[in-house]
Structures are given as structure tokens and as C-alpha cells.
A and B are shown apart, each in its own frame.
Chain A
Amino acid sequence: MKKIHKIIIILLFIFCLSGCYNYEEINNYAIVSGISIDQNKEDNSKYDVGIQIMNAKKDEEADNSLITFYKASGNTIFESLEKIMLDSPKEIYLGHNEVIVISETLLKEKDPLNFLDFFMRNPQVEKDSLVMIAKDSNAYEVLKIITPLETIPSRNLKSSLNIADKYSGTLTIITIDEFISNLINDGVEAVLPAVTIDGKTSSGDDMENISESDPKTKLKFETLGFFQNNKLKDYLSKDESMGYNFLAGTPSETYINVKCDDSNYASLKISNSKLKEEMVIKDGKPKVSINDNITADLAEYNCKADFIKNNDIIEEIEKNASKKIKELMNKSINKLYVENKSDVLKYGLKFYQKKYKEMEKYGYKAEEIINNIDFDINVNVEINSSELSIKSVKENK
């Protein structure tokens, strides 16, 4: 009998731990897959929050869209969501949220820490939600665009950003908890991918948009927006964001074009990048030496050459590519650190972590150290393979 007493006591313990209090059937939830945050046009202190719900509807009624949008405004995100809850017949469930789109104007005017608290405080919110800027448009509009390949907009946003991050080399994925920790920490500035609407906005949220083979409205991921003092400062150009990715050590499977004769180009596909950063404070001047060893494949070569006979050609391409990548990096450093003083690459934090004593000695603070920082960049590209051919097509002529 004593055993049974013990078991009952343990059961009471787990009743205290969990209990039935959060028993909720799955079909009573409205599953939110995307959230948009805009600034209210009339009252600047209010936020317009839009949510996208993947509604639970049976497949037979395929003509109806699977998604529904709700929008409400309030002084806090929570208030807006509560207002939406009054409209919707089901309880809002944020555990599977995929994207958070924030409008450009809001980020330019306000520190995001003023309204992102809810996402960290609420235990239900998916902390892996991707954050993005709605560039040149309303965040709610971006959330509503339906495209043919993926009919759930937030899913579309998420997967296109994933693909863009993997292959273009100009983007980077930022989740909500990364974004917030970047905003909080000293010596780090936040960076976010930006999405734009390509085409007419009015037709984008129509189901007709997906019935066309060449939809009038598409979404485009192009650039990265960077922050300064927790406010959106500017966007990086294509080259600059590529440089940013090389500096961050995340070039993914991007490509580099190199001129191989007067008018023709060769393409290199980056396969691996080993980035080494060294923080030095020499005579009171902070310096970052960056050593990047990149391996790449020769993806296309349009000049005349036989690689086996002539090893110099490969070396030439490697040299040019290294030069090009260094150029990209310099461009991005120039834009971020010289023009805008935005420490997106976390050098302030890295100095603080590694050279704390020297920084104290010279009286530097993590957020100030980039003001007179020096860079020493060294890029070394190595071509691993020339894929299927060992010479150019032209060589056979």
C-alpha cells in the first residue's frame, strides 16, 4: 500500500507541474502563421497589427482560401491581438508563427524594443519566427501577397527567404530572438532582410494573382537593412550586402564573376569559407585583421584556356576573385563603418569579449570602438574543381 501512496503523491506533483489547465483541442485554435506590424497613420503611438490565420477548413471547399487576415490597432501588440480575438471565432495560437513583417517607417521612427517585448515575454510565441522589413510598402500588404507556388503567404515569405539566403549570398536570416539580442547588446547593431512588392499592390492579395501564369505581383528579397542606434538607417546595395555576408562568414552558395579576357567572364561558385578574425589594439588603435580562406568551384568559363597545360590560368582566376571579394568587403565596410558608423558585424562586442583589458586601458567602450577602427583584409580564394571539364569549350575549336 505504501507504493500506491508514493504514486499518488507523484501524480499530485505532476498535477501541479502541468495539470489540465492548458488542455485545449487543436481545432479550437486559430493558427497564426504571420504577423505584420505597422504604425497607425492617425495616432503615432498606436500600432496596426495584422495576423494571418491558416484556417481550419476542409479541403472539399477548395475555392475558399485557406487563409484569413485580421487586423486591429492598439497601444501595445497584446492589446491589438486581444481585439482581433474578439473578431475571430477561435483562440489565437502563436506557437507556429513563421514570419514577423515590420514596416520600414515604423523601424525608422521607433526603437523596435518599444514594441517587441511581447514576443519575448509570451511563452507561446515561436522564437524562431523570421523577422523582415517591408521596404517601400505597408507590412500588412506584404503579408497579404499570394503567389502561385506557395498559396500560404507567410510560408511563401519564409521559404523564399530561405532560398535567397542559401543561393544569392546577399541576404541573411534573422530570427526574432537574434534580432532582439542584437538590439539589446552593446557593440552590436541589428541587420534585417528587406522584402519589397514587385508589381501592383492592389492585385496581390487577390486569388486571381495565383491563377495567372505570370502573376502581376511578386515578392522580392534583395537587400539588407541595417540599424544604427536601434533605428533603421539605410539599406545595403547588392555588392555591399554580398560583402557583408563574406565578412560575416556566411556566403552560402553564392557566386563571384571574374573577368577572364576583355569581354568575357568566368563564374565561381563559393563552396566553403573559413573566416579568421583577429582583434588587436596596437598603440591605442583598434584593428581587425580578417583572413578569409575561400574554396570555390569553377562554374563557368567563357574564355579560351586549357587548365591542365596552363596552371597559371587558374591562379589568375583565383587572384582576380580574391581581389573582387576584397573589394566587396571594402565596399561594405566603407558603407557600414565609415559612412554610417553602424556596427552590424559585432566588432564592438568581439573586442569587448576578447580585448577587455586593453579597452579599459585606453578607455574605449564597446559601442565607441568602431569610430576609429582599422581593417586589414586578406582574402585567399582556392579553386577546388573545374567541375566536368578540364578545359574551356573554346579550346576545342
Chain B
Amino acid sequence: MIKKSKRIKIIEELKKNTNNAPDINYKDFEFNDEAITFIYSMSVSSSNDINDFILRRIDEDKDKIKSDDLYEYVKNYIPNNNILSFSEEKKISYYVMSGFTVCVFDDGKLLAFENRANIYSPINKSENEKGIKGPSDAFSENYQFNMGMIRRRLKTEKLWIDEATVGTESKTKVALFYIKGVSNEQMVKKISKQINNINIKYVGNTNYIIDAISNTNRFIFPTMLATQRPDFACQMLLEGRIVLMVENSNEVIILPCMFIDFFKNPEDYYEKSLNVIGNRIIRIIALFLAILTPAVYISLMAYNQEALPSGLLINFSIQRDGVPFSTVFEIIVMSFMFYILRESDMRFPGKGGSSISIVGALVLGQAAVEAGIVSPITIIIVGISSVASLAFSSIELINSIKWVQLFLIILAALFGFIGVMFGFIMLMALLISQNSCGKPYFSPFEPFNFKAQKDAIITKKSAKFNPDIVYDKDDDDEKNS
């Protein structure tokens, strides 16, 4: 009687804690003088698996089983790839919610069988980071698939994975991937410690982890690189970086990351290095154009006209003739219009987006110029800077460029070229002073690392596995001390 009451007590406790959740099922089996209960969730576990491999099996073999070795029988004869024996009663709900079937015995022994249902989206093509060449599979929301995608690419035993659970309510798994012997161990330790110290309720996406472990949120540029592409993640792992994978999230975080990494594309490693150098230079020029064009244009139009060639000056002057607003106002208004267009284009569901672009192009571009509200050059300038700002695959970088643009526009409007210069110096100071997981953000340019230049602007296939970016002198010093 004492034995029975323990099983029933556990079940009653669970029912009370979950408020008798409708999707949690309790299935009792009674033998001669013993009974067991299977607890499973209908929503996250596969009912077929439970029926075929657990319930039917028990039902068919009911007579053969002797009550003495019931526990041994269930443990050994039920076909399942992942049978866990545990004793903490508190863990029952976690296993049930994770898609396990938990078997409770009279003496309070507990067994869990994995019957996870496949309720994840399948492996898709990467949508945010498009590429012409190379593998096109992307991380999905399935934690195990994601892990598999990395394992499949790096079959080495040196790929080590540390797992932790984050989120007091969501209990999300977070895995830390690194290559033993290549990654900096101290950094791995530091990051695992940081992850274990996270105290949040819910982990919705990788960004929750990024926000929780980055030291400051005031820095507008992203200090962690999130990618959807497993090939890129493996590439980065081999360079000695750490990859953070979060359950239910379709991207992984790469740590530490430098500013130059936002100019890299997975595709870069599948093409001829010489051509890639050209692409990277174009991306860097695009950054400069995105940040500087509106500010420089304002300084030229309002303060430093002597810096323009005379032909261009007359041209600009003729174009601006009759426009009632100041250049600064024009630029700011048109930039805002572009951002509003972009936002509505992104948020509008389905095919409606293209009609917004047409309205934007026609109404805000052509018609505004013909009506004499803005000058055509303003449209060109805003066009150049906004197209250039979209040349990057990282949405975080694109969003941060917006702030820099506005900051420099205001400085240009107040101080002309001196202001732009000052703003640019401040921006550089900000970038150089920053760090990502203790690594200088502007490396390998500042501090200058000659060896790492091979995978900065210049790419060399041979330099792909060069751990210089992560390993530098400081690490060795730290280790020795």
C-alpha cells in the first residue's frame, strides 16, 4: 500500500502543479499486484510512437511479465533509442514538456522514453543570407537538426559541445560549439560562465542571449554575428571561434566577431580569392558611401562650395533653383521616407510589398522632383546612400548604419566638413575602443595583425583555417600568467 501511494502521490502532485493540463495524458497499466502509469503530452510527443512502441508492447506482453522485474522489463524491452532513468520528481514535467513519455512505478522509480513529435519547420533555404554558390541549407527551428547540420560538416571528435539550460520558464537549451585545441579555452570558460549566469524567463531567439551576455547595449554596431548558414558557422568554428546555438531559433551566434566579419559572406570561400577581394572592397566602399554621401553632400551644398568643381557647382545650383526647402531638410525628409517605405515594404504581408515600392519610386521620386519639392540630386544622394546601406547581409549592421548616417547629417548641417570629419573620427574611436568577448573589435587593423590580413580584405584559400584572428599574442600571455 505504501508503494502504491507513492506513484499516485507523484501523479496527483503533477496534476496539481499543471492545473490538470488538457494535453497531458495519464495511462495506467495494472498487473497482478503492481501498476505503472505512463505520462505523456499529446502536443509535443508523437502519438504513433507511443501507441506502437510503448502501449501496444505492454498490452501484448502483459501476461508474460512477472511483477518482480517489471522495472527491468520496461527498461530493457521497450524499443526506444533514448531511455533515461532518473529520480528527481521535479524533472517529470520538464521531460513531459520536452516530448518524452515518463513511466512512473509504484516504488517511485522513474523512466523517460523519447517520443518527440516533429513539429518543426523542415530544413529550408536561407532567406536572409542569400547566396548564388555553395550549399543552400539553413538552420531551422529544430535544435537537433541544427546540431546535425554542424556535426555532418565537421566529423572530427575535437568538435566539443557544452550544453546549458537557460530561461526559468522556457528552459531552453543553449549549446556552445568549439573546436578543442583551436579555440581559446579561457574564452570558452568565460562564455559558459556568462551563459550559466543568465537570469531571464524566456529565450525567444538568439538575440535574447546576445543581449544578456553582451557587456553594453549602448554600442550601436553589432558585436555578435548571427548567421543562418551552417557552412559559414563551420567556417568560423575552424577559425577558432565559438558558435552558440539556441533551441527553437533558426540562427546561431558566432563569437567573438570583428567589424570586418560583417563584410564577409559564406560565398566568399567558394569563389576565386582574387574576385572576392574585389567584392569585399566593393562592400567597404558601400559602407563609406552609405555613411558619408548625405553628410558630404550637405557640407558641399551649404558650407564648402569651393571644394566642388565649377561645372558641378553650376549644375547643382541649377538643379536646386526653385526648391523651397533647405538641403538639410530635403535630405532628412527623403531619408525618412526611404526608411518608412522600407519598413512598410517589410511588414506588409505577401505580394502587397511591390505596390508600395512602385508608389515610393513614382510618388516620392519622380513626382516630388517634377513638383519642385525636392531637387533631383537629393533623390540621387539618398538613393546612393540607401542602396549602399543595404549591401550587407547582417540586418543588425544595416540598422546601425542608419544612426551613423543621421548623426553625420546633423553634424554636417551644423558644422560643415569640420563636423563630418569630427563625427568620422568619433565613429572610428568608438569602433576601435570596442571589444567583442575581450577581443578588439577592429582587429586585424587595430591592433594591426599582419598574418590575419590574409582573411581581412584580402582572402586566400590557404588562410581559411588560420586561427590568427582569434589567437593573438595577448592570449598566449594570459595563458602563461
Contact = CB atoms under 8 A, between A and B. Distances in A.
A binds B: yes
Contact of A126 (B306, B314, B322, B415): B306
B51 interface: no
Interface string B299-319: 001110110001001101110
A351 B303 CA distance: 45
A98 B310 contact: yes
Contact of B317 (A19, A26, A59): A26
Contact of A18 (B316, B317, B318, B419): B419
A61 to B, nearest CB: 11
A25 B310 contact: no
| Highest count of chain B CB atoms <10 Å: which of A18, A19, A26, A124 | A26
Contact of B418 (A14, A23, A95): A14
Contacts of A388: none
A58 B322 contact: yes
B420 to A, nearest CB: 11
B421 to A, nearest CB: 9
B88 interface: no
Interface in B315-338: 316-318, 320-323, 326-327
Interface stretch (A27-35, A228-236, A306-314, A359-367): A27-35
A26 B301 contact: yes
B422 interface: yes
A27 B377 CA distance: 13
A119 interface: no
Contacts of A15: 414-415
B416 interface: yes
Task: Provide the main secondary structure of the chain B interface.
Answer: helix
Interface residues of B, number: 24
A23 B418 CA distance: 13
A56 B320 contact: yes
B426 interface: yes
A159 to B, nearest CB: 12
Q: Is the interface of A mostly helix, strand, loop or mixed?
A: loop
* Interface-centre pick from B317, B321, B327 (highest chain A CB count, 10 A): B317
Nearest to B425: A10
B306 A96 contact: yes
Contact of A7 (B317, B318, B322, B426): B426
Interface string B355-372: 000000000000000000
Contacts of A33: 310
A15 B411 CA distance: 10
A24 interface: yes
B263 to A, nearest CB: 28
A14 B413 CA distance: 13
A110 interface: no
Given A10-B422, A18-B303, A96-B310, A25 B327 contact: yes
A25 B301 contact: yes
Given A33-B310, A58-B322, A14 B303 contact: no
A19 B414 CA distance: 6
A188 B477 CA distance: 67
Contact of A14 (B301, B314, B422): B422
B419 A26 contact: no
B422 A95 contact: no
B418 to A, nearest CB: 5
A65 to B, nearest CB: 13
A26 B305 contact: yes
Given A14-B422, A25-B302, A29-B305, A58 B310 contact: no
B414 A20 contact: yes
Interface in B440-477: none
Contact of A95 (B305, B318, B323, B426): B305
A27 B414 contact: no
Interface in A74-105: 93, 95-96, 98
B313 A24 contact: no
A281 B460 CA distance: 65
A394 interface: no
B415 A19 contact: yes
A266 to B, nearest CB: 41
Contacts of B414: 15, 19-20
Contacts of B415: 14-15, 17-20
Given A31-B314, A56-B314, 19 more contacts: A18-B415, A18-B416, A19-B414, A19-B415, A20-B415, A22-B303, A25-B302, A26-B305, A26-B317, A26-B320, A26-B327, A27-B323, A54-B310, A57-B318, A93-B305, A95-B305, A96-B305, A96-B313, A124-B306
21 contacts: A7-B426, A11-B422, A14-B415, A14-B418, A15-B415, A17-B418, A22-B303, A23-B303, A24-B302, A24-B303, A25-B302, A26-B302, A26-B313, A26-B327, A27-B321, A33-B310, A56-B318, A66-B314, A93-B305, A96-B306, A96-B313
Interface of A: 7, 10-11, 14-15, 17-20, 22-27, 29, 31, 33, 54, 56-59, 66, 93, 95-96, 98, 124, 126
Per CB-CB distance, the 7 closest pairs between chain A and chain B, nearest first, are: A95-B306, A27-B320, A56-B317, A56-B321, A96-B310, A18-B418, A26-B301
